Structure 1
Amino acid sequence: MPLPKPQSYVQTPEQPAPTRRRGWVVAGKVGITLLTLGLLWHSVVADAATAAAWRGLLARALSGAGRGPVLLALLLMPLNWGLEAWKWWRLARHLEPVSFRRSFRAVLVGLTLGFVTPNRVGDYAGRIMELKSRRLDALGAVFLGRYCQLVATVAAGTLGLLYFLLRFYLPAYPAAKLGLVGLTLLINTLVLLPLYHSELLVAAVEAVRPLRRFSRFLAVMPTYPARILTDVLLISSLRYAVFCAQFGLLLLAYGVQAPAGHALAAIAGTFLLKSLVPSLNALADVGVRELSATHLFGLLGEPVLPVLSASLSLWVLNIAVPSAIGLVFVLRLNVLRKRKTPASAPSV
């Protein structure tokens, strides 16, 4: 069955948006702002565990205990989202000419909208609204960026979980160990293959009737050359490394003394388990990550409270704070921007 063609959007000039539509847009922005602020208040202030972790983080940042690691983790926050903006810039300019500044703004808007939507689907809307054309094709581009991040997470996370399984659960079963190593290699191969052969993924979606309507959104994926995909995968790996460094620094700040190699395996396993569980919104990620982190670090003999505090602080730094910053760009977002005829854009 032939694959659907990427969307084309050649449009005629539009009339100015009616006042009623503009009113709905303003109301939507106000609603998103209030909802985001309410969720931030609930998660950072009203929730006892997160509030305690946040106060501990501030105390360590302002005092001698753990000040250096906390400040380093804080300084890595703009680098983290800068790498995500770089990744989106590489993907978006395959569709239309776009600046890095606009890509960074799109990432922050998407983060804020994703904060209040199930499974962070608002991230898609935030990014495509910053484009002037081929907005439906942008859905496939956002999915591609997420998939590259998943590949990096699975590669590191399976190795981390493999370490724990071999050491704590299968120490006396050499045959099972060998089979588990083979299974790890197979999983990583199966996850990596669709990235460079996305036409297989599109064809699979097209073959499943309930999913067939989504195939037109993914049809742009096979048009990305291998060079762009490799670049985006490398950027995703760098961003993953920044996440791990932040978590490690916060663990150090809270007094966790696990050896570096063991701690890295636990961090990688935590991120993998968190990524495999769909969430209702950004708040649901907190429970999944904390449960995974406390269990894995518990196997290493680390107490629960410092690990819990470090994990909650990581969420505050990388999700809560940037989501609040993104509200500024949500309020300035031009939702009713006229879409133009797409110009030819460089593919590298």
Structure 2
Amino acid sequence: MQIKNNHSNYLQNPWFTWTFKVLITLGCLYFLISKLRDQPISLDHFFVPNRFVLNLTIVIALMIVNWYLEALRWKISVDLFEEISMNDAWRAVLGGLALNWVLPLTSGDLLARISQQKDKYQATSAAILNRGIMLVLTLCFGLYGISFLAIQYDFNGWFLLVILFGIPLLRILFRKSINRFSTYFQELAKSLLIKVVALSLLRYGVFVFQFYLLLVIFLPSLSANLLIAGIGWVFLIRSALPLFFGGIGVREASGILFFKPHVDNLQLIIVPVFLIWVINTVIPSLVGLFFIWKMKSSK
């Protein structure tokens, strides 16, 4: 029993977490540098100013829609047990996004959301519902990307193993979550659940479209199916490695792994992946910094 506790304490040590994070990030950066070492850095030959400005403007506008849908999703989930305003929902969502930069495993998001509610148990259940739905969507869409990747690298056997063992594992985890927070889910009306799922689908569609608008600028020769599969793969890696949220290199490396067989200039892959991260994560995080100071100090 003592050994188990020591092991748990070791894994929860923040120095261990951040050391592991730095090592993986450095590994991804080394991967990127090694791939780009022999390639000249020049974007002039594929840069189309008019199309770029238009698409970038749409992507930035959709960033606001993206996070509005997330705040609305959180408000609807919490209103079941404690009515909150949209301002409170905005504060929790964007404040949590900013806190993720200093807290591991995206725990900043959970801390910001749960700390602002009186009923922590119900708030935790609502957070699990929100994350669970997005995780299912990400995994389903990610499997589409994995199927393309399996064909490219002839890993069809491994893809089959993921399907055979991954789906039962998800069902077990889902059932455990339902049982642990059964009170909240029993009170959750079917109509309310449909609203949360619909908003989740809409939000996922928004940031898929954002990413697609950027990729189509830099990779116009690739088919829409391939681009969408690549988006599913990159988002899956981002969700599967929450420890490295905000770490430069992880997303770009996953994009290179997927698109490299189809693209000669790897900068065409790195630039849109980097841009979508800046627009959807960095900019909202800066806004979230102001919300952190407005959170209820008593919570």
TM range, smaller chain: 0.7 to 0.9
Aligned with 1:263 (options 227, 232, 241): 227
What is residue 185 of structure 2 aligned with on the other side? 222
Contact 2:91–2:292 (8 Å) recurs in 1? no
Hey, what's the Cα distance between the residues in 2 that align with 1:192 and 1:71? Answer: 40
Say if 2:64 is the partner of 1:78: yes
Aligned with 1:158 (options 126, 130, 143): 143
3-state secondary structure, aligned to 2:296: coil
Hey, what's the Cα distance between the residues in 1 that align with 2:205 and 2:171? Answer: 19
Amino acid at match of 1:222: F
Aligned residue runs from structure 1 range 158-177, under 5 A: 158-169=143-154
Say if 2:251 is the partner of 1:275: no
Say if 2:187 is the partner of 1:201: no
Aligned with 2:255 (options 293, 297, 300): 293
Hey, what's the Cα distance between the residues in 2 that align with 1:68 and 1:189? Answer: 44
Say if 2:199 is the partner of 1:235: yes
Which segment is superposed worse, 252-261 or 114-123? 252-261
C-alpha RMSD of matched pairs (Å): 2.9
Aligned residue runs from structure 1 range 37-186, under 5 A: 63-64=49-50, 66-131=52-117, 133-169=118-154, 180=160, 184=163
Hey, what's the Cα distance between the residues in 1 that align with 2:170 and 2:198? Answer: 15
Identity of aligned residues (%): 27
Higher helix share: 2
Aligned with 2:279 (options 317, 322, 329): 317
Hey, what's the Cα distance between the residues in 2 that align with 1:138 and 1:148? Answer: 16
Hey, what's the Cα distance between the residues in 2 that align with 1:290 and 1:309? Answer: 8
Larger Rg: 1
Q: Deviations over 1:263-302 (max 9, x none)?
A: 101110111122112415x332x32211111110112335
Contact 2:95–2:292 (8 Å) recurs in 1? yes
Q: Deviations over 1:183-209 (max 9, x none)?
A: 6377457536765xx4x3365xxxxxx
Which consecutive aligned stretches of 4+ in structure 1 deviate over 6 angstroms post-superposition? none
Q: Structure 1 residues 69, 189: closer, same or farther in 2, change over 3 A?
A: farther
What is residue 5 of structure 1 aligned with on the other side? none
Contact 1:258–1:302 (8 Å) recurs in 2? no
Amino acid at match of 1:184: I
Q: Deviations over 1:203-257 (max 9, x none)?
A: 5xxxxxxxxxxx5xx4545333444334323322221211111111112333553
Cα shift at 1:157 = 0.5
Q: Structure 1 residues 100, 194: closer, same or farther in 2, change over 3 A?
A: farther
Query: Could you state the TM-score of these two structures normalised by the residue count of structure 2?
Result: 0.75
What stretches of structure 2 of length at least 5 have no aligned partner? 1-32, 34-42
